[in-house]
Amino acid sequence: MSDATPELLSWDSRARRVVTVYVPLACFLLVLLFPFYWMTITAFKPNGELLDYKQNNPFWISSPTLDNIRKLLFDTEYPRWLMTTMGVAFGATAIALVASVLAAYAIQRLRFKGSKWVGLAIYLAYLVPPSILFIPLAQVVFEFGLFDSPMALVLTYPTFLIPFCTWLLIGYFKSIPYELEECALIDGASRLQILRRITLPLAVPGLISAGIFAFTLSWNEFIYALAFISSSEKKTVPVAILTELVQGDVYQWGALMAGALLGSLPVAIFYSFFVEYYVSSLTGAVKE
């Protein structure tokens, strides 16, 4: 009796742990991942199966098909939209990174009078959401003659990328010992040489984090792309799927889901390579 008690206790605590930790966690994972599963399975279902739950188990595909993907790739301008989105995302990320590195270096390392205020102003810029800016910005884009051009997106996306990247990089620069730069200064290196040869190589993890973040944010952007681009072939993937594939009353769910899946894949792949950077930059930025 007495030696059964600890065993009972440990079994009891294990059961308790299953109920309080593993079951809720499994439910969370199920709910968070289900839409992706559903998206994937719909993308590979033939139309007959898609709209008939009585004959087929909706959770599985009995005869998978690539029809939806084929239709998407060859009957629509999907590859073109994908290329545009890719170009815009890389362009905006490059501009944002260059501008943020320089700004963060000036604010954190050159320490001029009022650098704190410039930092605060850039932080405040992050708090201005695109949804209050897009109407006047449409006007500005129109004045610059950039309306209906992907260039408009490349130039406007940095407005929400720069504040975030700058703050992230300020945090990284702060972690690099200032003594290294002082040594180089005494050795006669110019400021730009120091930035290029010493600070930047040491801040590579920060640059990667900022780059991934900027890339995913530009890939996901919607409202500017919706407001500034009107011709079909210049649209980005999220906008094009919603405005070009959704037409009439009969929705092509298979093609829609295939489009959503293919549109999410590049970010997901990109993300999976750099998960650790991504998580650390997300949490770092919040803690900053």
Partner 1 sequence: MNQAEALAWVAPRTQSNWLQRLLDWKPALVILCLTPALGLLLVFLTYPLGLGIWMSFTDTQLGKPGVWVGLENFQYLLTDRVFLNAVWFTIFYTAAATIGKFALGLWLALLLNQHLPFKSLIRAIILLPWITPTVLSAIAFWWIYDPQFSIVSYVVVDVLHWRTKYFDFLGTPWPARWSLIAANVWRGIPFVAISLLAGLQTISPSLYEAAMLDGASSWQRFRRITAPLLMPILAVVLTFSVLFTFADFQLVYAITRGGPINSTHLMATLAFQRGIPGAALGEGAAIAVAMIPFLVLATLFSYFAIGNRKWQQGGSDE
Asked if residue 183 binds partner 1 (CB under 8 A), the reply is no
Asked if residue 178 binds partner 1 (CB under 8 A), the reply is no
- What's the chain look like in SS3? CCCHHHHHHHHHHHHHHHHHHHHHHHHHHHHHHHHHHHHHHHHCCCHHHHCCCCCCCCCCCCCCCCHHHHHHHHHCCHHHHHHHHHHHHHHHHHHHHHHHHHHHHHHHHHCCCCHHHHHHHHHHHHCCCHHHCHHHHHHHHHHCCCCCCHHHHHHHCHHHHHHHHHHHHHHHHHCCCHHHHHHHHHCCCCHHHHHHHHHHHHCHHHHHHHHHHHHHHHHHCCHHHHHHCCCHHHCCHHHHHHHHHCCCCCCCHHHHHHHHHHHHHHHHHHHHHCHHHHHHHHHHHHHC
| Interacting residue with partner 1 among 9, 15, 30, 53 (CB under 8 A) | 53
Asked if residue 112 binds partner 1 (CB under 8 A), the reply is yes
Q: Say how far apart CA 76 and CA 72 lie, in whole Å.
A: 5
Interface of this chain with partner 1, residues 143 to 172, rule: CB under 8 A = 155-156, 158-159, 162-163, 166
CB of 128 to partner 1, least distance (A): 6
Asked if residue 241 binds partner 1 (CB under 8 A), the reply is yes
Span of 5-13, 60-68, 74-82, 250-258 interacting with partner 1 by CB under 8 A: 250-258
Q: Return the number of the residue (136 or 248) whose C-beta is nearest partner 1.
A: 136
Q: Say how far apart CA 121 and CA 134 lie, in whole Å.
A: 20
Q: Return the number of the residue (11 or 144) whose C-beta is nearest partner 1.
A: 144
CB of 1 to partner 1, least distance (A): 27
Interface of this chain with partner 1, residues 1 to 30, rule: CB under 8 A = 21, 24-25, 28-29
Q: Return the number of the residue (1 or 269) whose C-beta is nearest partner 1.
A: 269
Asked if residue 127 binds partner 1 (CB under 8 A), the reply is yes
Interface of this chain with partner 1, residues 254 to 283, rule: CB under 8 A = 256-257, 259-261, 263-264, 267-268, 271-272, 275-276, 278-279, 282-283
CB of 3 to partner 1, least distance (A): 26
Q: Say how far apart CA 141 and CA 69 lie, in whole Å.
A: 35
| Interacting residue with partner 1 among 77, 94, 149, 191 (CB under 8 A) | 191
Span of 64-72, 175-183, 199-207, 220-228 interacting with partner 1 by CB under 8 A: 220-228
CB of 11 to partner 1, least distance (A): 18
